[in-house]
Amino acid sequence: MPIVSVVSSLCAVTPERAVGNDELARMVDTSDEWISARTGIKSRYVASPLETTSVLGAQAAKLAIEEAGLKPEDIDLIVCATSTPDKTFPSTATLIQAKLGCKVATAFDVQAVCSGFVYGIGIVDALVKSGQAKNAILIGADTFSRIMDWSDRATCVLFGDGAGAAVIQGVDANEAKGKGILASVLNADGKYADILNVDGGASSNARVGKLRMEGQAVFKHAVTNISSAIEECCEKAGRPVSDIDWFVPHQANKRILDGVAKRLGIPEEKVVVTVDVHGNTSAASVPLAYDFAKKDGRIKKGDLVLFEAMGGGLTWGAALVQL
Ligand code: UT7
């Protein structure tokens, strides 16, 4: 009997401290008016020194494991999507494994920047379907506040911190009754590495570095890349875009979300928008948005949910999940 990968739970957490646009306007030459109009962002969360990526990731993972009715010792695969690891090594996934008290398991990080969680869905799906894991936890966690150049108004107003996690379980296809990860599309084009990157690294200059972005250049690729990944993903799954109950996109810029929805004919009321409260939280962005719409009662079991993301690399992708 073929195995399908069922998303049993998905939860998210933010750091405690929220930072509004007005607070940033006291630090750099910007305004609430500019940030709101150009991005839709009103506020974002900024992690304290104790709220590291693994701390936030473990908090989200704990919630997801509980919501799935599992115990940490049931988990046999831990994948953490992050570009802001606590340490160069070991992986944040292993740090989370230790914090949760999981048994010996497979654990590793995925580095696909803002597309990390969507990449993780595709990777975990493949490992679960091939029988290499039965009860997986996928975490998307980032603390981009640590790699911000807080004097660069073009970037420091855009990003925030957070974490989300999903339990993905292998279930016999006849038992799953249509639920599961239906398809995913994962893409990258390294020739655009320079337009969004961090100017540090262990082997280049032995520094952590700061995020650098040519915003307009990234923007130019966003709507086209995301739209084509969604179309390919829906085609792979054999489901038209019109079947989607909820569109849960990466939250980089409200203008990008509107552009993609318009191009694909997705009605505004099906688009989950949290960029106003979270900013761009990189790999945490998609699970944070999902959790938000789950908590306010929009997303429910049985819904067809479309995830998408684009980020540094450039990387981009989409995933279609029947809950
Ligand atoms: O998650 C990874 C993927 N990332 C993205 O998808 C981000 C994609 N890019 C974007 O979302 C947008 O390009 C930005 C929000 C980053 C920038 O918006 P934009 O409409 O492309 O603005 P711009 O970069 O063309 O800048 C317009 C003006 C410039 O001033 P001049 O040259 O016209 O005088 C900037 O210096 O706005 C200025 N500016 C600001 N002004 C006030 C840039 N940042 C700020 C700021 N406050 N924070």
Tell me, what CATH number does 14's domain have? Answer: 3.40.47.10
255 CA: nearest ligand 1 atom: 11
Counting as low any pLDDT under 70, the low residues of the chain are none
Quote the pTM value: 0.98
157 CA: nearest ligand 1 atom: 48
- Ligand 1 contact via 30 beta carbon (within 6 Å): yes
Domain boundary among 176, 194, 213: 176
Which residue is associated with the tokens 């650098």? Answer: 212
Which residue is associated with the tokens 């599309």? Answer: 185
Same domain, residue pair 168 and 218? no
Same domain, residue pair 220 and 145? no
Tokens standing for 282? 């990189």
Same domain, residue pair 276 and 143? no
Domain boundary among 176, 198, 220: 176
Q: Which helix (H) or strand (E) holds 254?
A: helix 254-264
Q: What integer pLDDT is reported at residue 316 of this predicted model?
A: 98
In sequence order, the β-bridge partners of residue 49 are: none
Q: Which residue's CA is the nearest one to ligand 1's atom 12?
A: 215
Note if 114 is an active site residue.
yes
Q: Which residue's CA is the nearest one to ligand 1's atom 41?
A: 30
Same domain, residue pair 110 and 136? yes
Same domain, residue pair 151 and 292? no
Same domain, residue pair 160 and 199? no
Ligand 1 mutation pick, 44, 216, 285, 286, max ligand atoms within 8 A of CB: 216
Q: What integer pLDDT is reported at residue 1 of this predicted model?
A: 83
Same domain, residue pair 46 and 114? yes
Q: Which residue's CA is the nearest one to ligand 1's atom 45?
A: 154
Q: Which residue's CA is the nearest one to ligand 1's atom 16?
A: 215
Encoded amino acid at 164, one letter: G
Q: What integer pLDDT is reported at residue 53 of this predicted model?
A: 98
Q: What integer pLDDT is reported at residue 199 of this predicted model?
A: 98
Q: CB under 8 Å to 123, separation ≥6 — which residues?
A: 79, 110
Same domain, residue pair 160 and 196? no
Same domain, residue pair 106 and 148? yes
CA distance linking residue 200 with residue 122, whole number of Å: 28
Same domain, residue pair 263 and 126? no
One of 21, 197, 225, 280 is an active-site residue; which one? 280
Residue numbers of the domain that contains 255: 180-322
- Ligand 1 contact via 155 beta carbon (within 6 Å): no
Same domain, residue pair 147 and 188? no
pLDDT in tens, 83-100: 999 999 999 999 999 999
Ligand 1 mutation pick, 36, 41, 219, max ligand atoms within 8 A of CB: 219
Our count of domains for the chain comes to 2
CA distance linking residue 7 with residue 182, whole number of Å: 11
- Ligand 1 contact via 39 beta carbon (within 6 Å): yes
Note if 250 is an active site residue.
yes
Domain boundary among 124, 148, 176: 176
Same domain, residue pair 120 and 184? no
Note if 280 is an active site residue.
yes
Q: What integer pLDDT is reported at residue 63 of this predicted model?
A: 98
